Structure 1
Amino acid sequence: MTPFKLSEEFLAEIEQLIADQKDTEILALLEEVHYADVAEVINELTKDEATYLIKLLDTVKTSDVLTELDEDIREAILASLSAKEIAEEISELDTDDAADIVAELPKEMVQEVISEIEDKGHAKDIVDLLRYNENSAGGLMAKELVKVNENWNVLTCVKEMRAQAENVRRVHSIYVVDDEGKLKGRLSLKDLLTTSTKTHISEVYIPKVDSVNVNEDPEEVARIMSKYDLEAIPVVDEIGRLVGRITIDDIVDVIKEEAEKDYQMAAGITQDVEGDDSIWKLTRARLPWLIIGMMGGIGAASIINSFQAVMIQYKILLIFVPLIQATAGNVGVQSSAIMVQGLANDTVKGEVVKRLLKEFMLGLINGLVLASIVLLISHFAFNTEYLVSATICIALMSVIIIAALIGTFIPVFLDSRGIDPAVATGPFITTGNDIFGILIYFTIAKIILGF
């Protein structure tokens, strides 16, 4: 099957068919198109066109389409639908996706939509999920799962599984609970098929099963599922009762969102923003770090100003200021990026002192290589005196080592204080190392050249 690729021609054809209200041709054109691709098409339409298409397509398909739409587009479409129409759409969704959509509705409309859902059990599950914080395992989980009682025999178990599986799109695992609903373990399908129908589940289930609490942080859930290569993980409440499960598709979304957030923080953007957000929102997200960067530049300029005397006698030093600043910033960002990644993946092991010692040795090696190159360039390309060239090289090595240590220590320090260490990889490290680099550069020059 050839992957769908949205073209201007395809989009223009859809827009024209909508304008002409040629419903049959629209349905024929989109019949074999995956719901995620339909969502891509709708994201490019106007509000009225998008609403027309949603109302035209069958509920089974459009319910999935809604989960894939950009939030702004989905909000606009839902605002044009009645409570009954919204209820029909979310009735086809798993409870986690349905709860996410309901949570986006105006408060005065939530109760109306819930009351319009015909399946009261589904409605109850959605309401139950709404009470959990969206940034928790409870807010991420779905209610759909297959569970069996440890006191059932295999025959009863199979009958119950068949009934439960009708409401579950994908059966990743069979969970075992006791009479109070507490999670006891999981059931192997192979054991179920090869065991006598009269055997009790308590005799064949596997007691070891990874689970997470409803209040667990989504990033921690993602780490656990990634570490143990899980397709799904059960969620338990405060007393150990099985209340839901989280599947890999939800975790992929968490990982994607976290990566986007860290990337923006590393770039010095303090809020979760997108390219089509308002100018005011984008300004608020970017301006704080730009101000910090500007203050850092002013700080570096002040340091240079305090060494005006040396500029008259050793003008060549000024030429290498951009080199010192750029190298300090790059080394710091490299070191901090590795540390942030390690902290996020929980792969940073050992004492901080050992990590710093390792970075010191790495900085020393890199510094020797780069300083040797600069020594040759400064002496032969700029006709710099040997003592001045040596000064530049020693300062460069020192700056590289200090920048590597700062880039390693700051993320660990922030993480220990409960602050997202991703903030360290952006202007925070770059600006800090710019200032330290200039200060170290001229201080070493003053000591060696004696001005």
Structure 2
Amino acid sequence: MVPFKLSKELISEIQTLIVARQDGQLQAMLEDVHYADVAEIVNGIDHIKQATYLIKLLDSDKTSDVLTELDDDLREAILKRLSVKEIADELEELDTDDAADIVAELPPERAKKVISHIEDKEHAKDIIELLRYDEDTAGGLMAKELVQVNENWNVLTCVKEMRAQAENVTRVHSIYVVDDEGRLKGRLSLKDLLTTSTKTHIKDVYISNVDYVDVNTKDEEVAKVMSKYDLEAIPVVDEMGRLVGRITIDDIVDVIKEEAEKDYQLAAGISQDVEADDSILELTRARLPWLILGLFGGLGAVFIMQDYEEFMSNPELQDLFFFTPLIAAMAGNVGVQSSAIIVQGLANDIVKGSLWNRLLKEVGLSLINGLALAVLVLAFGYIMNYDISFSLTVAVALICVIIVAALIGTFVPIVLDKRGIDPAIATGPFITTSNDIFGIFLFFYIAKLILHF
């Protein structure tokens, strides 16, 4: 299969066919194109009317999936141009989790009308149930479509029921076993099912060891469980232990992607989930708080430097000011490196053991790095004919700054995580600003001790 590649020429050709109302040619051209690629085409069409026309033209069994792949703003704009009945027809073709996501984006009154137009009332009931859960929980992620069998059935009855249920399931990852109350008991191996007598009861062959999550489990925790145990799907139970749905790997990939994007923005000093095409007001609200923090941090550094203004009046010490950017930059870089490693470890749940042991390890690592960089500073001082005490001052200060910055970069994310705050916030301007201030203070304080001014 040749990978699909979107081009301006293809977009232009499709738009020309739309303007000319060449419906048959458009349908033939896109008939064998994967829905994700069709979504890429629709995303590339500049005119919303033409994008909507294409969605209305194609069959709902394809465009329903296309809608789930569209950019959020474009999907919202297209949904506004579809009738209540047209949206309901699209939802009929989707799994309940994807259908619930689209309904959640609609205004409340319109959402009610759309649900009332869904002909499959069981499907509509499942969508309504999923809307009760917060979107960042297992309940908000799960789909109702799954294959479940009763532990009291024999193998023959089980196979008949599975055939009926599988018609509504896109992909059968697992066969779940429940009791008469619907409580999850375990999972059924397809191999055991095929090699067991048709009269054997399921309770005699099912596997009781099954990983599951509660409807209120946070999506990040679900992602950790599925990643740890390499699961393609995981069952979801309610507060009474009853099987109510399943979460598949495609939904978890979306969660991981969104979390990575959020952490990246936090690390860059953006406090809200924004995109490049958001309004100026939204982008300003997301960026300005951290810029203000950086401003105050810079002002703090100014006040520290003013306390040591006698450097400027001493010709032998004036050159120290030229090294302040070096000290501040190294402090910020080391702090960000340390915090990034810790944040990654916390995200993957591999930061274990004593905090003190981790801090001691970081001190050892920083000492090695600091000594290596200090040697380079001393060599630079020798080449530039700086006084040995001057070069030694910069070198010692650099070692101390690196150690302190590494400790802050390690300590802060762990403390934030224990207090329920996203530790990714520590990899951005928070760490950089604090380490700049500490770095400049340590630099001048150590200079004062060594040079005796």
Q: When the two structures are superposed, what TM-score results if normalisation uses the length of structure 1?
A: 0.99
- 1:3 Cα deviation (Å)? 1.0
Q: Contact between 2:335 and 2:435, CA under 8 Å: does it hold in 1?
A: yes
Give the aligned partner of residue 320 of structure 2. 317
Counterparts in 2 of 1:237-252, with a 5 A limit? 237-252=238-253
Indicate yes or no: 2:329 matched with 1:326: yes
Give the aligned partner of residue 48 of structure 1. 49
Indicate yes or no: 2:359 matched with 1:359: no
Task: Please give the alpha-carbon distance, in whole angstroms, between the structure 2 residues aligned to 1:265 and 1:408.
Answer: 17
Q: Which amino acid aligns with 1:12?
A: S
Give deviations 1:262-314, integer Å, cap 9, x for gaps: 00000000000000000110011001101111111111111111111023320
Q: Which amino acid aligns with 1:216?
A: T
Give deviations 1:144-191, integer Å, cap 9, x for gaps: 000000000000000000000000010000000000000000000000
Q: Which amino acid aligns with 1:41?
A: I
Indicate yes or no: 2:441 matched with 1:432: no
Give deviations 1:34-92, integer Å, cap 9, x for gaps: 11111111112211011100000011000000000011111111111111110000100
Q: Contact between 2:186 and 2:207, CA under 8 Å: does it hold in 1?
A: yes
- 1:379 Cα deviation (Å)? 2.4
- Secondary structure in structure 2 of the residue aligned to 1:143: coil
Give the aligned partner of residue 134 of structure 1. 135
Q: Contact between 1:311 and 1:317, CA under 8 Å: does it hold in 2?
A: no
Task: Please give the alpha-carbon distance, in whole angstroms, between the structure 2 residues aligned to 1:368 and 1:32.
Answer: 62
Task: Please give the alpha-carbon distance, in whole angstroms, between the structure 2 residues aligned to 1:167 and 1:256.
Answer: 28
Give the aligned partner of residue 402 of structure 2. 400
Instruction: Name which of structure 1's ranges 215-224 and 115-124 shifts more when overlaid on structure 2.
Output: 115-124
RMSD: 0.7
Counterparts in 2 of 1:53-92, with a 5 A limit? 53-92=54-93
Indicate yes or no: 2:266 matched with 1:265: yes
- Secondary structure in structure 2 of the residue aligned to 1:320: helix
Task: Please give the alpha-carbon distance, in whole angstroms, between the structure 2 residues aligned to 1:427 and 1:333.
Answer: 9
Give the aligned partner of residue 184 of structure 2. 183
Task: Please give the alpha-carbon distance, in whole angstroms, between the structure 2 residues aligned to 1:265 and 1:303.
Answer: 28
Task: Please give the alpha-carbon distance, in whole angstroms, between the structure 2 residues aligned to 1:425 and 1:440.
Answer: 21
Indicate yes or no: 2:387 matched with 1:370: no
Give deviations 1:345-400, integer Å, cap 9, x for gaps: 1100100000000000000000000000011112213x210001000000000000
Q: State which of 385, 388, 393 in structure 1 corresponds to 2:387.
A: 385
Give the aligned partner of residue 417 of structure 2. 415
Task: Please give the alpha-carbon distance, in whole angstroms, between the structure 2 residues aligned to 1:227 and 1:410.
Answer: 26
Task: Please give the alpha-carbon distance, in whole angstroms, between the structure 1 residues aligned to 2:312 and 2:169.
Answer: 74
- Secondary structure in structure 2 of the residue aligned to 1:163: helix
Give the aligned partner of residue 117 of structure 2. 116
Task: Please give the alpha-carbon distance, in whole angstroms, between the structure 1 residues aligned to 2:32 and 2:313.
Answer: 75
Instruction: Name which of structure 1's ranges 126-135 and 256-265 shifts more when overlaid on structure 2.
Output: 126-135
- Secondary structure in structure 1 of the residue aligned to 2:273: coil
Q: Contact between 2:153 and 2:202, CA under 8 Å: does it hold in 1?
A: yes
Q: Structure 1: where are the runs of 5+ without partners?
A: none
Q: Which amino acid aligns with 2:44?
A: E
Task: Please give the alpha-carbon distance, in whole angstroms, between the structure 2 residues aligned to 1:96 and 1:277.
Answer: 27
Task: Please give the alpha-carbon distance, in whole angstroms, between the structure 2 residues aligned to 1:361 and 1:32.
Answer: 59
Indicate yes or no: 2:339 matched with 1:336: yes
Q: Contact between 1:211 and 1:236, CA under 8 Å: does it hold in 2?
A: yes
- Secondary structure in structure 2 of the residue aligned to 1:151: coil
Off by >3 Å, runs of 4+ in structure 1: none
Q: Contact between 2:220 and 2:255, CA under 8 Å: does it hold in 1?
A: yes
Indicate yes or no: 2:303 matched with 1:302: yes
Q: Structure 2: where are the runs of 5+ without partners?
A: none
Question: How many correspondences in the alignment?
Answer: 450
Task: Please give the alpha-carbon distance, in whole angstroms, between the structure 1 residues aligned to 2:436 and 2:176.
Answer: 56
Give the aligned partner of residue 234 of structure 2. 233
Give the aligned partner of residue 287 of structure 1. 288
Give the aligned partner of residue 196 of structure 1. 197
Give the aligned partner of residue 220 of structure 2. 219
Task: Please give the alpha-carbon distance, in whole angstroms, between the structure 2 residues aligned to 1:332 and 1:378.
Answer: 25
- Secondary structure in structure 1 of the residue aligned to 2:9: helix
Instruction: Name which of structure 1's ranges 159-168 and 44-53 shifts more when overlaid on structure 2.
Output: 44-53
Task: Please give the alpha-carbon distance, in whole angstroms, between the structure 1 residues aligned to 2:419 and 2:231.
Answer: 30
- 1:433 Cα deviation (Å)? 0.2
Instruction: Name which of structure 1's ranges 253-262 and 20-29 shifts more when overlaid on structure 2.
Output: 20-29
Q: State which of 437, 445, 453 in structure 2 corresponds to 1:443.
A: 445
**Percent identical across equivalent pairs?**
71
Q: Contact between 2:381 and 2:388, CA under 8 Å: does it hold in 1?
A: no
- Secondary structure in structure 1 of the residue aligned to 2:148: strand
Instruction: Name which of structure 1's ranges 340-349 and 312-321 shifts more when overlaid on structure 2.
Output: 312-321
Indicate yes or no: 2:133 matched with 1:170: no
Task: Please give the alpha-carbon distance, in whole angstroms, between the structure 2 residues aligned to 1:28 and 1:110.
Answer: 33
Task: Please give the alpha-carbon distance, in whole angstroms, between the structure 2 residues aligned to 1:354 and 1:267.
Answer: 29
- 1:4 Cα deviation (Å)? 1.0
Instruction: Name which of structure 1's ranges 38-47 and 277-286 shifts more when overlaid on structure 2.
Output: 38-47
Task: Please give the alpha-carbon distance, in whole angstroms, between the structure 1 residues aligned to 2:150 and 2:312.
Answer: 82
Give the aligned partner of residue 22 of structure 1. 22
Give the aligned partner of residue 31 of structure 1. 31
Q: Which amino acid aligns with 1:347?
A: I
Q: Which amino acid aligns with 2:441?
A: L
Counterparts in 2 of 1:149-168, with a 5 A limit? 149-168=150-169
